[in-house]
Amino acid sequence: MTGTKDVTSQKYLVYVLLLITVIIWGGTFAAGKEAALGAPPLTVALWRFILASLILCPQLAFTEGLGLKKIDLYTFVLLLLSAATGLILYNYFFIKGLALTGAGRGSVIVTINPAFIYLGSVIFFSEKLTLIRGVGILLAICGTLVVVTGGRISAILDGGFNIGDLILTLCIVSWTAYSLLGKLVLGRISPLAANTFTSLLAVIMLIPLCLLAQEPLDAFLGFTYDTWLSIGFLGLLGTALGFTFFYRGILILGPHKAGVFISLVPFFGILSGALVHGESIEPTVILGLLISLAGLTIIQKY
């Protein structure tokens, strides 16, 4: 009886942690926009993952040891590609796009990630594509188009859309690649190890990339308090804490139940944009979100 109560209590705790996670991830859009106003994109990404690594490395060493013996050449290449796609490219497009569009809009645009991940699984992992899930994918895409075009789909033809929204759609491509690579990585090492090693590899790769992009490494000396606060939120909360909580949710509840919470991220993204940056909540953004969520629900349920 006591064991049952302990399991129930543990599940309730995980629900709370997952709710905290989606609130944090929703807030990363407002934080990302603030960071974009105060620093160039690659520099933001560099310091985000430096801060995340400072938390993740001791956590990994304490819970699992460094685990370097598990990193063979194939795993290392997978981690390198994961860091390049899901951390460097994603964060570059994320910060670059948010500099030109609203945080709330951005959070809705990237909502369709699961639809593209499923489509990628069909192409690369031979997952079965059903008619009903195909409809779900189309709905998710239509929802995003409603947001990007402000409800005027014809704007795609005449170029009447925000360039920042377009850049953010590239986040979907990079995150899909990262997620598909993750299926291979997580078959070889733990989620915590994967998150830690990709963060470290991102830092190593971002240093020369910053120099090539003429973003000086000492640029952090000129960061304002608001910029540091935003980067700290992205690195310490959005990356280190958020992923730790989410992976715990997957461990206790399973990926499907934990993944349901992700649908709440855009709601908190819209809210954070309104509270932090005074963004108006546009009807087309809400409409697009609801259409996308309807599509994602179909994909998850069927």
DSSP 196-260: HHHHHHHHHHHHHHHHHTT--GGGGGG--HHHHHHHHIIIIIIIIIHHHHHHHHHHHH-HHHHHH
Those residues whose C-beta lies under 8 Å from the C-beta of residue 237, and which sit 6 or more positions away, are 24, 27, 28
pTM of the model: 0.88
Those residues whose C-beta lies under 8 Å from the C-beta of residue 221, and which sit 6 or more positions away, are none
Q: How many CB atoms lie within 10 A of CB 275?
A: 12
262 neighbors 19 (Cβ within 8 angstroms): no
Domain limits for position 97: 16-301
Residue 7 lies in a domain: no
Burial class (CB in 10 A: 0-12, 13-18, 19+), 94: buried
Say how many domains are in the chain: 1
What is the structure's pLDDT at 255?
62
CA–CA separation, 30 and 171 (whole Å): 16
Residue 126 lies in a domain: yes
Residue 100 lies in a domain: yes
What is the structure's pLDDT at 39?
94
Q: How many CB atoms lie within 10 A of CB 162?
A: 18
Residue 11 lies in a domain: no
AA identity, residue 190 = S
Those residues whose C-beta lies under 8 Å from the C-beta of residue 212, and which sit 6 or more positions away, are none
Residue 8 lies in a domain: no
| Distance in Å from the first CA to the final CA of the chain | 35
Structure tokens at 270: 């819209």
Among residues 42, 43, 14, 89, the alpha carbon closest in space to that of 245 is found at 14
Residue 70 lies in a domain: yes
What is the structure's pLDDT at 25?
92
What is the structure's pLDDT at 245?
85
pLDDT in tens, the chain (302 residues): 555 556 667 778 888 988 999 999 999 999 999 999 999 999 999 999 999 999 999 999 988 887 666 788 999 999 999 999 999 999 999 999 999 999 999 999 888 888 888 888 888 888 888 899 899 999 998 988 888 887 676 655 565 568 898 899 999 999 899 989 988 888 888 888 989 999 999 999 999 999 999 999 888 889 999 999 999 999 999 999 988 888 778 777 766 567 677 778 899 999 999 999 999 888 889 999 999 999 988 887 77
Those residues whose C-beta lies under 8 Å from the C-beta of residue 200, and which sit 6 or more positions away, are 49, 53, 57
What H or E segment, with its residue span, contains residue 157?
A: helix 155-158
Alpha-carbon Rg for the chain, nearest whole angstrom, is: 19
Residue 263 lies in a domain: yes
What is the structure's pLDDT at 259?
67
What is the structure's pLDDT at 64?
84
3-state DSSP helix/strand/coil % of the chain, to nearest 5: 85, 0, 15
Residue 3 lies in a domain: no
Buried b / exposed e over 286-299, threshold 16 CB at 10 Å, is: bebbebbbebbebb
How big is the chain, counted in residues? 302
CA–CA separation, 144 and 157 (whole Å): 16
Give me the half-sphere count of Cα atoms (radius 13 Å) on the Cβ side of residue 89.
17
What is the structure's pLDDT at 258?
72
Among residues 231, 199, 173, the alpha carbon closest in space to that of 48 is found at 231
What is the structure's pLDDT at 54?
95
